[in-house]
Amino acid sequence: MIILSKKHISATLLALGLTILLSCARDTGAKTPLVEANTIAQRLVQQAAAPSVNSPKFGQPIDCTLGKDCFIFHYVDRDPSPTAVDFGCGRQTYNGHDGIDFGIPDEKTMAKGVAVTASAVGKVLRVRDGVVDRRLQNDTDKANIAGTECGNGMVIDHGNGWEAQYCHLRQGSVVVKPGMQVEKGAKLGMVGTSGMTSFPHVHVTFRYQGKVVDPFVGPDAKQGCNTARNPIWDKPIDYIPTGLIRAGFAPKPPDMNAVWQGQFSETQLPANSPALLFWVQSYGVLKGDREQYQLFAPNGQIIATQTKEIQAPNRAWLGYIGKRNNTNSPFSPGVWRAEYRLMRGDRVLLEVKREAELR
Ligand SMILES: [Zn+2]
């Protein structure tokens, strides 16, 4: 804190000095002092801007490929009012959300282990572990995690006034201790569901001199979404406010809870299953989006088809179509195919194709 205050003071002094020098130059009107004053002023401007210029570039804090085996579920809320808006002027955030949520498909993936990694070189300041992994499903669950919203995680000092906080790691997975130096990309622990979570993910909040920074726009950005972008990422990360989480087949209607648990990932089902449902779990659907589902029997015949219009925006969404098995004309064994399309106006946002074998 003392260091921060000193920095604040020196920045203020620099700004003051700058004003005085410029005033002096205007007052004297003499050529030589003006040139000198300008040179000094430029140097001071460079010094004042130095912390931003020297800020580290951050890597994604999770060992996965975005759009393939992980996704960004929530961005930073850039609206100070109770309305929430992300930097792309979309709704894939919620009121007061101060970080980026990197999600993984389900708890089976979480159990296999997806590493949380240091976004930059740094020194570990604080660590917590021992909070149980539990997706919040109701208000009692929420009350139980009061005071440990971040769950298991750590705060890392990334230098030059930058800090990052990593949250919701798997219980018992944290491998760093306070005081440790970490390299960029070093494993910190595993993605989990500890603290305030409704799905497996790592939440990361970046702070510069104690203030939250949206990594997609940088520390100097104005509030709201129509702002200049100076991302702090080391590589461009695409803004994908609508995307696929997972899709598959189920012998009964799936629910969001079961899907987050990792159920219904099988690609082989018994031919005598009571029903065959093709389901798609996605994020960031908006009112007016159209979903088209099709299910094909092994002989190519369309068994079920449906186009639905989304009635309200949803940050997480699960839909399905299917058919009940029928003793008079039971399911044919073989490879069943399914197709899904999510459309917004003329644009196809998602296209999904899946196969399952009935036998
Ligand atoms: Zn979050």
The SS3 assignment for 292 reads: strand
pLDDT of residue 27 exceeding 80: no
- pLDDT band, residue 199 (cuts 50/70/90): very high
Cα 352 versus chain centre, distance: 22
Ligand 1 centroid – CA 76 distance (Å): 8
The confidence score (pLDDT) of residue 55 equals: 75
> Any idea which of 12-16, 46-50, 102-106 has the lowest mean pLDDT?
12-16
Ligand 1 centroid – CA 15 distance (Å): 36
Ligand 1 centroid – CA 77 distance (Å): 10
Distances (CA, A) of 60 to 98, 118, 157, 202: 16, 8, 16, 10
pLDDT of residue 47 exceeding 60: no
Between 48 and 85, the more confident residue is 85
Distances (CA, A) of 64 to 61, 105, 196: 9, 11, 22
Ligand 1 centroid – CA 184 distance (Å): 21
The confidence score (pLDDT) of residue 54 equals: 63
- pLDDT band, residue 226 (cuts 50/70/90): confident
Ligand 1 centroid – CA 251 distance (Å): 33
Ligand 1 centroid – CA 196 distance (Å): 8
Count of C-beta atoms within a 10 Å radius of residue 154: 28
Segments of 286-346 assigned E as strands? 290-296, 302-309, 314-324, 334-344
Neighbours of ion ligand 1 (CB under 5 A): 99, 101, 203
Query: What is the pLDDT averaged over residues 9-26?
Result: 31
pLDDT of residue 37 exceeding 90: no
Fill in the DSSP letter of residue 240: -
**Cβ contacts of 91 within 8 Å, gap of 6 or more:** 84, 85, 241, 284, 286, 313, 315
Burial of 259-270, coded b for 16+ CB within 10 Å and e otherwise, reads bbebbbeeeebe
Of 359, 319, 356, give the one whose Cα is nearest residue 338.
Answer: 356
Query: What is the pLDDT averaged over residues 311-323?
Result: 96
Q: How far apart are CA 251 and CA 245, in angstroms?
A: 20
Ligand 1 centroid – CA 326 distance (Å): 45
Ligand 1 centroid – CA 52 distance (Å): 25
Ligand 1 centroid – CA 185 distance (Å): 20
Long-range contacts of 219-225, Cβ-Cβ distance < 8 Å, separation of 24 or more: 219/52, 219/55, 220/52, 221/87, 223/78, 223/79, 223/80, 224/78, 224/79, 224/85, 225/78, 225/79, 225/85, 225/86, 225/87, 225/88, 225/89
Query: What is the pLDDT averaged over residues 267-280?
Result: 97
Question: What are the residue ranges of helices labelled H in 214-279?
Answer: 256-261
Ligand 1 centroid – CA 8 distance (Å): 29
pLDDT of residue 205 exceeding 90: yes
> Any idea which of 104-113, 118-127, 133-142 has the lowest mean pLDDT?
133-142
